[in-house]
Amino acid sequence: MRPSILNPLFGAAANLPGVGPKTAKLLERLLTDGSRPARVLDLLFHLPYAAIDRRNRPKIADAPLDTIVTLEVGVVEHRPPGPRSKAPYKVLVEDETGDVLLVFFLANHHWIEKSLPPGATRWISGKLELWDGHRQMVHPDRVLDAEGFAKMALVEPVYPTTEGLFQKALWRAVDAALAKIPALPEWHDRKALATPSPPSFAEALRDVHHPQTPQAIAPETPARRRLGYDELLASQLALALMRSKIKRSPGRASMGDGHIRRKIAAALPFTLTESQRVALAEINADLAAPTRMLRLLQGDVGSGKTLVALFTMAAVVEAERQAALMAPTEILARQHHQTLAKFGTAAGLRLALLTGRDKGAGRDKILKSLADGSIDIVIGTHALFQESVAFRDLGLAVVDEQHRFGVHQRLALGDKSAAADILVMTATPIPRSLVLTYFGDMDVSNLREKPAGRKPVETRALPLERMDELIARLERVLANGARAFWVCPLVEESEELDVAAAQDRFTYLREIFGDKIGLVHGKMKSRDKDASMAAFAEGATQILVATTVIEVGVDIPQATIMVIEHAERFGLAQLHQLRGRVGRGDANSFCLLLYKAPLGAAATARIAIMRETEDGFRIAEEDLRLRGEGEVLGTKQSGLPGFRLADLPAHGSLLTLARDEARKIVEENPRLEGARGESLRLLLNIFERGEAIRLLGAG
């Protein structure tokens, strides 16, 4: 239950004074994903991105040109356009030092006459320009009498908005929201804020929404740092409580004797890399401990995470327990099953695949075998979460591509057994600051090396106008048996449009290459997808046109060419993932980035980095710098909490402070009791980390 003191913050924005039904609808579009109405808190956390400075109040003769000024003037005369003329309406105003023409295009004449009566004194604010040797102000932002001027904010915040919602309506709504902030206790240890006299939570929100200077909205100000630290501490405290719950709940040592792992190692055609050996040593130490493992395994593309997962699962099976590996897509689940079966079955491991596609007697047989223990390892999709799936003794849950599942599902598979260890894997290296942010409850192992024999992939960029040259080259290499992926563009985050783009490219290429072309996309039936992938893997087709459904996990060593169409629309991490689908065999491999000229600055930078390096960890840091944390981890799509007040590039130092403070709180006050504990519970609720509070009551 949320404490009642916070109810005003979670009330509907539609109920605020001055917010009518039309504005309420626009606020919902601006501030939410459409699944719920906008709330007071959403308005408070919608921060301005700029500010307009109206403090400059010179005399007309001293007023600088091409900048915003606020002038006190007398209205001299109106110069309306003639009948049926399209000329602008002009009003001459002056002070004792000079005059200015106010210019209104397609204007409401009645409003101008009412607002600027001849002989009246008015305050006008807007951009002063010189036109044909005369000072003018086109459509002043403000035309005010003495009473209006007394109320005018001299520094105006500027907010991100949506079509139809004007800044004035947003200011009114935000002001009404600020009035709803209840009197809240301080939840910080003042020393932790590292400022002599930090503003309170409410003061900080008021300072940012009512800036006294344009600089007051910058991330480095005491108010913004305070709010950023609040959000980071809520996030880190939730993760620390989650980690504490995992570590408190009894684990079981899974100490195998190594007999299965020795068989797997003997069957490998290569030796493990040094970073694979280090990661396995860290994992084995976790498995041997009586507490539950909660570890993140980060690997660059092709660094051999799946093999580390296989050795880990084998260790658990040696201890006569079961393991489960969950992947985000059916294609990836099947790929994992194929890879693991190649090395695991020979070592005596009993594996099964369980996806949403499995129905009837086949599914019942798998469920029965999991329950009686005759399956050692099950690989599947989110179907493994379902209540009907029960294990005899689940010792390990491996979650692949964790950030696609959403943070609340992290423990769901582990909860199939009170003592299951959890290993989370990602093939997209995550920048260090984001590892702390989203996986701060986990220990981390990194795989930085590629297995021996992996050849670098040569990356080239080509404008779309030269596609004919690319097709001519493909005709030559396909004649020699080469295979190529052709990935179609992302179209406005819409799977339907992505599929249409892939379908169009497939039709176009089929006219040139005939039956050598295959197609795979997320809207196809699973059986058709599998058939298309199998035809490409066997060489029956030589070009596979695809959407980003092939981004992770697809392993076809014979494919040596990756064409990415409209590469400028993809993020760096995605480009790197797609490139990682080639370069997996002995032959030289190429990645061709087709782009539409001219390129913007960010796209130019992305393509330059792709050509410069294959280091996924460096690419992850550059991706964060170019795009920001929300897009890098896909927080909007995945259910991960994106930050609204914290600005990671500016507040990076606060993240480490917040993590240390959160760990200290959990060590000293693990159940958040007493006055400070109560205030910290308010903090968690305000930032919607209520899940963490529920853990406190879960033993």
Tens digit of pLDDT for each residue in 607-636? 999 999 988 888 888 887 776 555 555 444
Would residue 380 count as lying in a domain? Answer: yes
CB atoms within 10 A of CB 331: 22
DSSP 397: E
Q: What is the pLDDT of residue 637?
A: 41
Q: What is the pLDDT of residue 73?
A: 98
What single-letter amino acid sits at 423?
L
User: Does residue 387 share a domain with residue 243?
Assistant: no
Would residue 168 count as lying in a domain? Answer: yes
- Distance, in Å, from the CA atom of 634 to the CA atom of 577, rounded to the nearest integer, reads 15
CATH at 283: 3.40.50.300
Q: What is the pLDDT of residue 486?
A: 95
The secondary element (H helix, E strand) that includes residue 459 is strand 457-463
Which of 232, 165, 294, 249 lies closest to 648 in space, CA to CA?
232
User: Can you name the residues that pair with 562 across neighbouring β-strands?
Assistant: 485, 591
Which of 565, 567, 512, 506 lies closest to 536 in space, CA to CA?
506
Would residue 452 count as lying in a domain? Answer: no
User: CA 427 → CA 424, 430, 542, distances in Å?
Assistant: 10, 9, 26
User: Does residue 117 share a domain with residue 3?
Assistant: no
User: CA 460 → CA 50, 559, 583, 594, 611, distances in Å?
Assistant: 39, 17, 14, 9, 7
pTM over 0.85: no
In this predicted model, what pLDDT tens digit does every residue of 284-305 receive, in sequence order?
999 999 888 889 999 887 788 9
| Tokens 């003592």 -> residue | 419
Is pLDDT of 453 > 80?
Answer: no
Among 420, 447, 474, which residue terminates a domain? 447
Q: What is the pLDDT of residue 262?
A: 95
Average pLDDT, the chain: 87
List Cβ neighbours of 444 (8 Å cut-off, separation of 6 or more): 295, 296, 298, 435
Q: What is the pLDDT of residue 245?
A: 76
In this predicted model, what pLDDT tens digit does every residue of 203-253 receive, in sequence order?
999 999 999 999 999 999 999 999 999 999 998 998 888 878 776 667 788
User: Does residue 146 share a domain with residue 163?
Assistant: no
User: Does residue 133 share a domain with residue 24?
Assistant: no
Identify the weakest region by mean pLDDT among 172-181, 458-467, 527-536, 618-627: 618-627
- Distance, in Å, from the CA atom of 607 to the CA atom of 595, rounded to the nearest integer, reads 9
Three-class DSSP category at 447: strand
Q: What token pair was written down for 392? A: 């005899």
Would residue 669 count as lying in a domain? Answer: yes
Which H, E and C letters describe 123-176, residue by residue? EEEEEEEEECCEEEEECCCEEECHHHHHHCCCEEEECCCCCCCCHHHHHHHHHH
Q: What is the pLDDT of residue 552?
A: 52
Q: What is the pLDDT of residue 627?
A: 65
Q: What is the pLDDT of residue 494?
A: 52
More confident residue, 146 or 415: 146
User: Does residue 576 share a domain with residue 666?
Assistant: no
List Cβ neighbours of 370 (8 Å cut-off, separation of 6 or more): 322, 352, 378, 389, 390, 391, 392
Bridge-based pairing state of the strands 543-546 and 394-400: unpaired
Q: What is the tally of structural domains in the chain?
A: 5
More confident residue, 178 or 34: 178
DSSP 109: H
Is pLDDT of 687 > 90?
Answer: yes
Q: For the stretch 121-135, what's the b/e string if a residue is b when 16 or more beta carbons lie within 10 angstroms of its beta carbon?
A: ebbbbbebeeeeeeb
User: Does residue 533 share a domain with residue 442?
Assistant: no
- Distance, in Å, from the CA atom of 420 to the CA atom of 319, rounded to the nearest integer, reads 13
Q: What token pair was written down for 329? A: 């897509």
Q: What is the pLDDT of residue 396?
A: 93
Is pLDDT of 170 > 90?
Answer: yes
Give the mean model confidence (pLDDT) for residues 146-156: 94
pLDDT category, 549, cuts 50, 70, 90?
low
Would residue 513 count as lying in a domain? Answer: yes
- Distance, in Å, from the CA atom of 14 to the CA atom of 23, rounded to the nearest integer, reads 8
Among 559, 590, 613, which residue terminates a domain? 613
Would residue 54 count as lying in a domain? Answer: no
Which of 541, 551, 549 lies closest to 521 in space, CA to CA?
549
User: Does residue 134 share a domain with residue 169?
Assistant: no
pLDDT category, 455, cuts 50, 70, 90?
confident
Q: pLDDT > 70: what percent of the chain?
A: 89
State which of 132-146, 592-606, 642-656 shows the largest mean pLDDT. 132-146
| Tokens 């449009």 -> residue | 497
User: Does residue 163 share a domain with residue 242?
Assistant: no
User: Does residue 313 share a domain with residue 235?
Assistant: no
User: Does residue 403 share a domain with residue 379?
Assistant: yes
- Distance, in Å, from the CA atom of 54 to the CA atom of 159, rounded to the nearest integer, reads 17
CB atoms within 10 A of CB 500: 15
Is pLDDT of 640 > 70?
Answer: no
pLDDT category, 699, cuts 50, 70, 90?
very low
Q: What is the pLDDT of residue 635?
A: 44
In this predicted model, what pLDDT tens digit does every residue of 465-520 receive, in sequence order?
999 999 999 999 999 999 999 998 765 445 555 556 888 899 999 999 999 999 98
Would residue 269 count as lying in a domain? Answer: yes
In this predicted model, what pLDDT tens digit does every residue of 557-603 receive, in sequence order?
889 999 999 999 888 888 998 898 898 877 899 999 999 989 888 88
Q: What is the pLDDT of residue 195?
A: 60
Q: What is the pLDDT of residue 177?
A: 98
Is pLDDT of 404 > 70?
Answer: no
pLDDT category, 192, cuts 50, 70, 90?
low
More confident residue, 623 or 78: 78
Domain range for 536 is 457-613
List Cβ neighbours of 204 (8 Å cut-off, separation of 6 or more): 198, 222, 223, 224, 226, 227
User: Does residue 462 share a domain with residue 398?
Assistant: no
Among 447, 472, 489, which residue terminates a domain? 447
Cβ(234)–Cβ(687) below 8 Å: yes
User: Does residue 539 share a domain with residue 443?
Assistant: no
Q: What is the pLDDT of residue 412?
A: 56
More confident residue, 454 or 112: 112
Would residue 641 count as lying in a domain? Answer: no
More confident residue, 192 or 244: 244
- Distance, in Å, from the CA atom of 681 to the CA atom of 692, rounded to the nearest integer, reads 9
Cβ(360)–Cβ(327) below 8 Å: no
Is pLDDT of 551 > 80?
Answer: no
CB atoms within 10 A of CB 247: 15
Q: What is the pLDDT of residue 499?
A: 58
